[in-house]
């Protein structure tokens, strides 16, 4: 996503340079924002990481907020697509286990994106107000309706409130990216390995599916 290959030929080398530099800057910015927060990250550090003079960043991006929003919008584009294509006819067991596996996987492969998103939300999402407008509640309602249908069909226990099941899916999977420091400290490891993530996925899948009354 951050490394789109320019399809143009050398007829407009300027555009090629621009795209290449923009992606270099975005990647450096992603790292800095993720590890220091919006205010904590400095244009200086971002420029240094990108290997460019500070002024170049201002040439490509209007200002610090503009750069941050560019990073954020890349992240949003990656986000909730995972829950988009579900219908009442789908098998809830399949949908849930696939979602859990994907999201844990995503947390492992894109920890920076996850953390920037988390930091933004923890601070009250000051730069994502328009993302969380009414259509967001509508979109969410569309998802809970599907889960509600499954409850009506007896495929999920009636004790389960669809809204809170979705929150549980979000929280339990993101946790592995956002709170990685605490998890590593608890497990006494410097890095988590493949087996840890398999255990995580297996345990989450077992508890959530069985807990919803979904037989597999």
Residue of the chain from 172, 190, 193, 194 that contacts its own copies (CB under 8 A): 172
**Are 89 and 150 spatial neighbours (Cβ–Cβ below 8 Å)?**
no
Q: Is 38 in the site for its own copies (CB under 8 A)?
A: yes
Q: Is 63 in the site for its own copies (CB under 8 A)?
A: no
Query: What CA–CA distance (Å, rounded) separates 25 from 28?
Result: 5
To DNA, the closest distance from the beta carbon of 212 in angstroms equals 45
- In the complex with its own copies, the residue whose CB is nearer, 20 or 37, is 37
Q: Is 213 in the site for its own copies (CB under 8 A)?
A: yes
Query: What CA–CA distance (Å, rounded) separates 111 from 174?
Result: 9
And the tokens for 21? 């530099």
- In the complex with DNA, the residue whose CB is nearer, 3 or 136, is 3
Q: What mask, x for binding its own copies by CB under 8 A, covers residues 185 to 204?
A: xxxx----------xx-xxx
Q: Is 65 in the site for DNA (CB under 7 A)?
A: yes
**Are 197 and 127 spatial neighbours (Cβ–Cβ below 8 Å)?**
no
Q: Tell me how far CA of residue 158 lies from CA of 18, 117, 153, 206, 215, in angstroms.
A: 55, 32, 10, 19, 15
Helix H segments across the chain?
Answer: 13-40, 43-50, 54-60, 64-78, 92-109, 111-122, 134-152, 162-178, 180-187, 194-211
Point out which residues bind DNA (CB under 7 A): 14-15, 17-18, 21, 41-44, 52-56, 58-59, 63-65
Q: Give the residues lining the site for its own copies (CB under 8 A).
A: 35-40, 115, 118-119, 121-125, 132-134, 136-137, 140-141, 157, 159-161, 163-168, 170-172, 174-176, 178-179, 181-183, 185-188, 199-200, 202-204, 206-213
């Amino acid at each position: 996503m951050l490394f789109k290959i320019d399809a143009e030929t050398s007829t407009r080398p300027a555009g090629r340079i621009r795209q290449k530099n923009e992606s270099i800057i975005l990647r450096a910015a992603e790292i800095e924002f993720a590890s220091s927060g919006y205010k904590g990250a400095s244009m200086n550090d971002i420029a240094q990481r990108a290997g460019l003079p500070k002024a170049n960043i201002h040439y490509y991006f209007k200002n610090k907020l503009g750069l941050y929003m560019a990073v954020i919008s890349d992240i949003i584009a990656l986000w909730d697509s995972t829950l988009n294509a579900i219908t009442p006819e789908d098998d809830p067991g399949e949908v849930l286990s696939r979602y859990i596996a994907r999201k844990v996987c995503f947390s492992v492969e894109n920890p920076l994106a996850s953390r920037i998103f988390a930091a933004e939300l923890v601070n009250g999402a000051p730069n994502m107000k328009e993302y969380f407008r009414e259509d967001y509640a509508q979109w969410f309602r569309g998802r809970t309706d599907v889960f509600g249908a499954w409850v009506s069909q007896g495929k999920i226990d009636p004790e389960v409130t669809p809204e809170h099941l979705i929150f549980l899916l979000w929280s339990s999977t993101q946790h592995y990216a956002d709170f990685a420091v605490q998890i590593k400290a608890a497990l006494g490891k410097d890095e988590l390995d493949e087996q840890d993530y398999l255990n995580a996925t297996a345990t989450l899948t077992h508890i959530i599916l069985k807990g919803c009354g979904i037989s597999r």
